[in-house]
């Protein structure tokens, strides 16, 4: 269980990675919101800051990580945080928002690209806890990431709402390898001394030399439960049901769709060929995965198996064993299903270290959303245009 800090202790507490900071438990009392007590900032909104929007002492970004249209994402394994701006409804110019969040993002990334890192404030990342109004500290962040170009770390994207188009930012941050932020440094920030005696060395190295040292948290490889593989909310279920219903009359037609979903997942999948149903040998498609630069790369072959199942029909050991047994030397497998893998089947893949990538129901939805296909209607349009029926 994560450590928890009581509301009455927030003003004097350090910021500890994955620690929960409790609210006052008074539901109707906005002053019982924890972030304003922790960091002496405003008490509402996903964008909060100390100072002015033009001269920040520090910035606070909060997210529930579960908004359908704005899928903020914390990549704990690689120390990256993807965050969407605050222009989320039509009728406003990209930077014309109440909290000036997008303007702040624009200024921060401009300073990054001009190498004016000393102008960039510390950025504290919090997520909302399921328990009332509690928040969880996820780290101290800086804009950009190692290997990202100036055209990749801040992108203005178009969205539409009931036929009206508008733009919002998608930004990428690095969570620095700083397990604890000392309260004394927060006080120095308030006193306009960001590089004071209590400044974290990792932060100072980034400001002075642009060195990214991300907080890397290697995941323990384990099988996912049924709930972790299936779509959660009604919108996600509608997307999966749209796919199932579209191919229900001819399930083998789903094979091409499954291969295209895999290509949407990873741009290094360069081609594939569907196999004949009568002689697929446990493989619905064979393809090539590119490793290296385009002009100096090698191709690794993969085999793909597609299973168009309802949420109540799991992929069992029988199906996974069939794919595993057909993998040739130096091949890996991709299993795509609109359902989920049964516990034993998933456990055997993990424990025996079989080179199988599992794309279950929830993964399909995430892949489509990342490609802008985030509703059942958009899914149906994609299916009819990409896989027309005879």
**Do 30 and 168 belong to one domain?**
yes
pLDDT recorded at residue 85: 94
CB-count burial class (<10 Å; 0-12, 13-18, 19+) for 370: middle
Same structural domain for residues 271 and 328?
yes
> What pLDDT does 279 receive?
53
Per-residue pLDDT tens for 207-252?
A: 999 999 999 988 777 789 999 999 878 999 999 999 999 999 999 9
Residue 310 domain-assigned (yes or no):
yes
Read off the pLDDT of residues 300-350 as tens digits, 9 standing for 90 and up.
999 999 999 999 999 999 999 999 998 988 899 999 999 999 999 999 999
Burial of 48-81, coded b for 16+ CB within 10 Å and e otherwise, reads: bbbeeeeebbbbbbbbeeeeeebbbebebeebbb
Q: Average per-residue pLDDT in the chain? A: 91
Q: Would 217 be classed as within a structural domain? A: no
Confidence at residue 27, expressed as pLDDT on a 0 to 100 scale: 63
Indicate yes or no: pTM above 0.85: no
Query: Do residues 59 and 124 lie in contact, with contact meaning Cβ atoms separated by under 8 Å?
Result: yes
Interatomic CA distance for residues 190 and 200, integer angstroms: 15
Same domain flag for 232 and 194? no
Is residue 193 located within the same domain as residue 236? no
- Residues 12-18: what's their mean pLDDT? 96
| pLDDT of 278 over the 60 cut | no
Give yes or no for residue 34 having a pLDDT over 70. yes
Of 31 and 376, the structure prediction assigns the larger pLDDT to 376
What tokens appear for 338 in the block?
């609109």
CB proximity list for 53: less than 8 A, separation 6 or greater: 100, 103, 104
DSSP state of 119: G
User: Where a domain ends, among 175, 209, 243?
Assistant: 209
Domain count across the chain: 2
- Give residue 147's region: left, alpha or beta (phi > 0; psi -120 to 50): left
Under a CB-based contact definition with an 8 Å cutoff, are residues 339 and 310 in contact?
yes
Q: What is the CATH number of the domain that holds 19?
A: 2.30.280.20
Same domain, 265 and 168: no
Are 169 and 22 found together in one domain? yes
**Helix or strand run (H / E) with residue 135:** strand 135-143
Confidence of residue 293 (pLDDT cuts 50, 70, 90): confident
Q: Which residue has the higher pLDDT, 45 or 143?
A: 143
Residues 204 and 232 reside in one and the same domain: no
**Tens digits of per-residue pLDDT, 154-195?**
999 988 877 888 999 999 999 999 999 999 999 999 999 999
Question: pLDDT band for position 277 (50/70/90)?
Answer: low
Q: Is there a domain that residue 239 lies in?
A: yes
Last residue of a domain, one of 152, 179, 209: 209
40 and 71 belong to one structural domain: yes
In which band, very low, low, confident or very high, does the pLDDT at 102 lie, cut at 50, 70 and 90?
very high
Flag whether 216 is in a domain. no
Final residue of a structural domain among 209, 234, 255: 209
Is the pLDDT score of 281 beyond 60? no
Domain that holds residue 13: 4-209
Convert the pLDDT of each residue in 45-96 to its tens digit.
788 999 876 789 999 999 998 887 788 999 999 999 999 999 988 888 999 9
Residue 376 has pLDDT above 80, yes or no: yes
pLDDT higher than threshold 70 for residue 131: no
In contact, 114 and 150? CB cutoff 8 Å: no
């Amino acid at each position: 269980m994560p450590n928890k800090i009581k509301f009455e202790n927030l003003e004097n507490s350090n910021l500890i990675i994955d620690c929960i900071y409790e609210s006052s438990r008074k539901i109707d009392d906005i002053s019982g919101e924890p972030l304003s007590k922790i960091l002496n900032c405003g008490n509402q909104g996903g964008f909060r800051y100390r100072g002015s929007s033009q001269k920040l002492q520090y910035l606070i970004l909060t997210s529930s990580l579960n908004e359908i249209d704005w899928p903020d994402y914390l990549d704990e394994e690689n120390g990256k945080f993807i965050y969407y701006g605050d222009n989320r409804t039509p009728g406003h110019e990209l930077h014309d928002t109440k909290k000036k969040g997008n303007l702040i993002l624009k200024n921060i990334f401009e300073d990054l690209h001009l190498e004016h890192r000393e102008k960039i404030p510390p950025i504290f990342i919090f997520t909302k806890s399921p328990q009332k109004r509690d928040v969880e500290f996820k780290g101290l962040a800086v804009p950009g990431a190692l290997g990202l170009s100036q055209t990749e770390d801040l992108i203005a994207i178009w969205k539409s709402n009931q036929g009206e188009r508008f733009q919002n930012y998608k930004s990428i941050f690095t969570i620095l390898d700083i397990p604890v932020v000392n309260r004394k440094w927060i006080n120095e920030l308030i006193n306009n001394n960001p590089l004071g005696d209590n400044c974290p060395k990792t932060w100072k190295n980034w400001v002075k030399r642009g060195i990214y040292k991300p907080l890397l948290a290697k995941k323990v490889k384990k099988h996912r439960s049924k709930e972790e593989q299936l779509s959660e909310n009604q919108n996600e279920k509608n997307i999966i049901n749209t796919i199932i219903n579209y191919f229900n009359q001819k399930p083998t037609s789903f094979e091409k769709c499954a291969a295209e979903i895999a290509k949407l997942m990873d741009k290094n999948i360069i081609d594939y060929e569907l196999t004949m149903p009568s002689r697929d040998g446990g493989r619905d498609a064979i393809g090539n995965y590119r490793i290296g630069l385009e002009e100096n790369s090698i191709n690794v072959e993969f085999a793909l198996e597609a299973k168009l199942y309802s949420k109540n029909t799991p992929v069992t050991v029988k199906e996974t064993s069939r794919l595993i047994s057909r993998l040739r030397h130096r091949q890996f497998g991709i299993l795509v299903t609109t359902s989920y893998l049964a516990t034993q089947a998933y456990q055997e893949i993990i424990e025996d270290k079989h080179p199988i990538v599992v794309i279950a129901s929830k993964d399909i939805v995430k892949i489509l959303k990342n490609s802008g296909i985030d509703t059942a209607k958009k899914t149906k349009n994609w299916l009819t245009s990409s896989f027309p029926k005879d």
